[in-house]
Amino acid sequence: MEAARSLPGADDAPDPARLADLGVRSPALLHWFAAPHLTVMPLHPHNGPLQIRLELGWVGTVLAALALLLLGRAAGRLALPAGPLGAMASGFVTFLASFGAWQPWWLCSLALALALALALASRATAPGRVVAPGNPGLP
């Protein structure tokens, strides 16, 4: 992982024109930004699919898309798919524009949300549970 750090230009010094666009005009700051210890270092693209493509290549992208498709189909087959599908959809929306894909707290949050949604769905369809006619999720 961490392929974003090896992108072309990642070891370059910040561009003075870009610094001026950002409002950095002080000679002392420009001198500090020009020092050899400072480089432009991308950490991650803040876009899950783009990070998967960057770090796992096209094969990994296809496998990830297939896994997501299978996960969605499995969640849709549950007796009460709204909880697991809602958890998956909210996680996917955040995954599209937020964090690095491999951050442990993010992966654990997704796993916890999915586990809770599955537990609630299995509890709602437990044997012996009385369900009101026409309302499969409410007693």
Q: Tell me: the pLDDT tens digits for 95-137?
A: 888 777 778 888 898 888 878 877 776 776 666 655 555 555 5
C-alpha torsion sign, points 49, 51, 52, 56? positive
Q: What is the dihedral of CA 87, 62, 69, 51, to 10 degrees?
A: 10
Q: Is-above-0.85 flag for pTM?
A: no
Residues 96 and 31: their CA atoms lie apart, in Å, by: 37
How do residues 83-99 score in pLDDT, each as one tens digit?
A: 667 777 888 888 888 77
What are the extents of the domains in the chain?
Answer: 48-122
Concatenating the DSSP letter of every residue in 19-66 gives HHHTT---HHHHHHHHSTT--------S-HHHHHHHHHHHHHHHHHHH
